[in-house]
């Protein structure tokens, strides 16, 4: 099963339920080192009819989310008073930046092109799409450029 959380039977110590990888975090880091791919977690959509009526809207949404992320990461990096009651927050943040760079949750087409291209290739190879789509087709043209805030 693929899930954001382990099933309750795993947490209860059920003997027939275990991890696919002995160390899932290390497996994910190893995959990232080899491919520079960290699976995209979420997408934000704008209805096509709204984007057609207001062509500036998709870029404005991207800019707003990028600005919010910048603020959130600044707060996360302020470890004088940590935002999460979790041991080793500073070390985890440092390790993530060392492995993935300062923009470890990148937004936009440019920084995610290699991930999207790999996804689209696998999607097509597995027969889930009748043709190999291009990453640009997934996003409104106004969002193709990286947003600067």
Per-residue pLDDT of the chain (149 residues; tens, 9 = 90+): 777 788 888 888 888 888 889 998 999 999 999 999 998 888 899 999 999 999 999 999 999 999 999 999 988 888 777 777 888 888 999 999 999 999 998 998 999 999 999 999 999 999 999 999 999 999 999 998 766 66
Tell whether 128 and 56 lie within a shared domain: yes
Q: Which residues contact 118 (CB under 8 A, 6 or more apart)?
A: 35, 37
Residue 40 in any domain: the answer is: no
- Domain encompassing residue 130: 45-143
Tell whether 58 and 4 lie within a shared domain: no
Distance CA 112, CA 99 (A): 16
Residue 131 in any domain: the answer is: yes
Residue 149 in any domain: the answer is: no
In this prediction, residue 87 carries a pLDDT of: 86
Residue 6 in any domain: the answer is: yes
**Is 51 within 8 Å of 58 (Cβ atoms)?**
yes
Structure tokens at 48: 């096509």
pTM, two decimals, is 0.80
Tell whether 6 and 50 lie within a shared domain: no
Tell whether 8 and 67 lie within a shared domain: no
Residue 136 in any domain: the answer is: yes
Q: What is the dihedral of CA 82, 83, 84, 90, to 10 degrees?
A: -40
Tell whether 74 and 127 lie within a shared domain: yes
Tell whether 81 and 11 lie within a shared domain: no
Tell whether 16 and 79 lie within a shared domain: no
Q: How many structural domains comprise the chain?
A: 2
Tell whether 62 and 19 lie within a shared domain: no
**How would you classify residue 3: left for phi > 0, otherwise alpha for psi between -120 and 50, otherwise beta?**
beta
135 DSSP assignment: G
Tell whether 1 and 69 lie within a shared domain: no
Residue 27 in any domain: the answer is: yes
Distance CA 96, CA 94 (A): 6
Helices (H) and strands (E) in the chain, counts: 6, 0
Structure tokens at 35: 């491919």
């Amino acid at each position: 099963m693929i899930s954001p959380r382990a099933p309750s039977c795993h947490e209860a110590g059920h003997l027939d339920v275990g991890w696919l990888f002995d160390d899932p975090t290390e497996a994910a880091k190893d995959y990232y080192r080899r491919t520079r791919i960290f699976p995209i977690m979420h997408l934000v959509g704008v209805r096509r009819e709204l984007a057609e009526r207001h062509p500036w809207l998709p870029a404005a949404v991207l800019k707003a989310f990028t600005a919010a992320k910048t603020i959130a990461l600044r707060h996360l990096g302020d470890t004088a008073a940590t935002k999460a009651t979790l041991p080793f927050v500073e070390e985890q943040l440092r390790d993530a930046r060392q492995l993935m760079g300062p923009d470890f949750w990148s937004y936009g087409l440019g920084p995610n092109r290699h991930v999207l291209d790999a996804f689209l290739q696998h999607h097509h190879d597995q027969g889930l799409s009748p043709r190999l789509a291009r990453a640009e087709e997934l996003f409104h043209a106004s969002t193709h450029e990286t947003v600067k805030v």
